[in-house]
A and B are shown apart, each in its own frame.
Chain A
Amino acid sequence: MTVKQISVFVENKPGTLANVSKILCQNQIDIRALSISETRDFGILRIIVDDSYKTACVLKEAGYICSITPVLAVAIPDEPGSLFHILDILGQNNMNLEYTYAFITRRQDLAYMIIRVEENEKAAEILKKNGIQLVSQDELYLM
C-alpha cells in the first residue's frame, strides 16, 4: 500500500518554490505534504497532493521535470518517541531509509510520516507486523 509522491527538479534560487505553488494553486491542487532536499545548486521538491496525475500534467506543461514516486505513508501518534519507534523498527530490519518527512493534518491526534525505502512492499509488511498504521492514497485525499 503506497501513496504517490510527486518529485520535482528545482533550481536553488529565489522564487522557485513560490512559482510551483502558484501553478498548483491556479489549478486548484491542494498540497497535503511537502519537503525539499537540496544541494548547493539544485533541489528536489517532494509533494503529496490531492490529485497526483493532474499535478504531474500541469507541472510538465509549465516546463518542470517531475516524476511520480511510490512512497509509504504512516500515521503515528502525535507524541514524543513515535518517530524513533518507527525508525527503530526499520533499522532493526535492515531497511535502508532514503528519506523521510512528517506532516500533520486537521486530525489533531495523529501525525503522518512519509517514508522512502527501496523495498516498499517489504517495509509495509514489517511496519504492519509491528502495529504501525499505513495510510492509503484515498485516506490522504480525504484529509
Chain B
Amino acid sequence: MGHYFQPEIECASQEQIRAWQDERLVKTVKHVYDNVPYYRNLMDQKGVLPGDIKSVDDLHKLPFLTKDDLRDAYPYGLLAMPLTDCVRIQSTSGTTGRRVVAFYTQHDIDLWDECCARAIVAAGGTKDDVVHVSYGYGLFTGGPGLNGGSHKLGSLTLPMSSGNTERQIQFMCDLGSTILCCTPSYAAYLAETICEKGLRDKIKLKAGIFGAEAWSEEMRQDIQNKLGIKAYDIYGLTEISGPGVSFECSEQTGMHINEDHFIAEIIDPNTGKVLPEGEKGELVFTSITKEAFPLLRYRTRDICVLTRKKCSCGRTHIKMSKPMGRSDDMLIVKGVNVFPSQIETVLLNKGYPANYQIIVTRVNNSDKLDVQVEMTPEMFSDSLTQISEREKELVGALKAMLGIYANVQLVEPKSITRSEGKAVRIIDKRNLY
C-alpha cells in the first residue's frame, strides 16, 4: 500500500470505475456529436447515432480517429467548445506538416494537472517535495504537465525546462530537488554528469518521473544506480492531454491508466478488431472528461498490452505495458516525432533520389539521427566544396522539416541495404523495445 493523490478514485472498485466510464462516455459522445461537425460526419458515415452508445460495451461501434484526422481538421476542426472558453493550446513537437494542436478549457487543465499529481504521488511525492521539472516548457506538454501536477499537489516546483546542464545540477544541489522530471535520455545524461563531477552525495533526489520517449529496463537500472533513486515511467500524448494519461507505481511493472478520464482499448492494427485483455496490439484511447478537445477512439500507434491483474500498490486502474513498438513507421528521436516520409519529401525537393536510410543510435545517452543518401551523377561534382555545400543545404532543409539536427552521410550508389529488392529504410540501433 502506498499514498494516493485521490484514493477514492485511484482505488475505486471495478464497478465504480465502469459506472463512471459508462456515464461519461455517453455524455462525451453526445457532446462531440452536437458540437463537432467533423465527428458528426464520421459517425453519420458509419451509421452510428449518439443514442446507440449506451455504455462502454458500445464503444466498438464508434469510428476510429487517427493522426490524419487531426491534421485534416487542423486547427479548429475538432474543437468542441467555443474558443472563448479555451485557455490553452499545446502542440506536438517540432514537426512541420504533421503538427497537431490541442485545446484546453480551465477544467481540462485542472483534470490534466490532477492526472500528473497522481503520477508524482505514485512516485513517492508529497507537498514537502521539491519537484525539478527539466522537460521542455512551451508547446511541448512535458513541462506544463508536470509543472501543473506539482502545483496541484502543493510541492515546491522548480520550472527548470531543458538544457543548461550545469545550472540544472547546481540548482539540484543548492535547492535540494527531490523528484526529477525529464526525458529518460536526459536523466541518464544528468546522472552521468553528476557522477563524473563527484556530486552524487550533494544531491537529494529520491525519485524520477521519466517519459516522452521509449526507454529500456537496462536504462532504468542505469539511472537508478547512478543517482540512487527510483525511476518511474509516465505516458501520455498531446492529442489526449499530455503526460499523465498513465503512470507507474511502486511496483514498476506497467503504468496505471487514469480510467476515470480515459478508456483504453487494444486493437489489431490491421483489422481494427478489439482484442481481449492481455493480448498485444495497438493502444486506442477515448477521453471521456475533456471539454475542449475530446477524442473518441484515437489510435496511438503504440503497441502495448493491457492487464487488470491486481496491483500491490492498491490502485485498481488497468495497467498498460511500456510501448513495445509502433504500428506505423514513426520514430521518436530526442523526444521529437520523425516520419520517414518527411525525410523523403526533403530529399525529393532537393533533387536527391528517394533512396535513403535512417539510422538512429544513442550516443552518450543522446539520440543521434543519421540519414544516408546515395550520391547521384547529377549531384556529383569534382569540387569537394560544392558537394559539402549541397550537403549542408540538405542538413538545413531536414532541420527545418524535422525540428532536429540530422547528420547527412553521402554514400556510394546502390550501397544502401536492400532486402528482397525493398530498401530497409529505418535502422534503429537503440534497442528501445
Contact = CB atoms under 8 A, between A and B. Distances in A.
Given A39-B388, A65-B376, A65-B377, A11 B383 contact: no
B383 A42 contact: no
Contact of B412 (A5, A63, A69, A116): A63
Given A9-B375, A63-B413, A65-B375, A39 B384 contact: yes
B384 A46 contact: no
A31 B388 CA distance: 27
A34 to B, nearest CB: 14
A65 B410 contact: no
B382 A41 contact: no
Interface in A1-22: 5, 7, 9-11
Interface size class of A (residues with CB under 8 A): 20 to 34
A82 interface: no
Contacts of A38: 384
Main secondary structure of the interface of A (DSSP, over half): strand
A67 B413 contact: no
A11 B411 contact: yes
A98 interface: yes
A7 B410 contact: no
Interface string A29-42: 00000000111011
Given A39-B388, A65-B375, A65-B376, A11 B381 contact: no
A103 to B, nearest CB: 18
> Which of B375, B377, B382 neighbours the largest number of chain A CB atoms within 10 Å of its CB?
B382
Interface string B385-401: 00110000000000000
A46 B382 contact: yes
Contact of B382 (A42, A64, A116): A116
A42 B380 contact: no
Main secondary structure of the interface of B (DSSP, over half): loop
B321 to A, nearest CB: 39
Contacts of B409: 41-42
A98 B383 contact: yes
A115 to B, nearest CB: 13
Interface size class of B (residues with CB under 8 A): 10 to 19
A9 B388 contact: no
Interface string B407-423: 00111111100000000
Contacts of A44: 382, 384, 387
A41 B407 CA distance: 11
Nearest to A71: B382
Nearest to A68: B382
Interface in A35-76: 37-39, 41-44, 46, 63-67, 69
> Which of B380, B409, B411, B412 neighbours the largest number of chain A CB atoms within 10 Å of its CB?
B412
Contacts of B413: 63-65
A67 B413 CA distance: 14
Contacts of B388: 39
A44 B381 CA distance: 9
21 contacts: A5-B382, A7-B380, A10-B412, A11-B410, A37-B384, A38-B384, A41-B410, A42-B387, A42-B410, A44-B382, A44-B387, A63-B412, A63-B413, A63-B414, A64-B412, A65-B375, A65-B380, A65-B412, A66-B380, A67-B377, A67-B382
Interface of A: 5, 7, 9-11, 37-39, 41-44, 46, 63-67, 69, 98, 116
Among all A-B residue pairs, the 7 with the closest Cβ atoms:
A7-B382, A69-B382, A65-B380, A41-B409, A9-B375, A42-B410, A37-B384
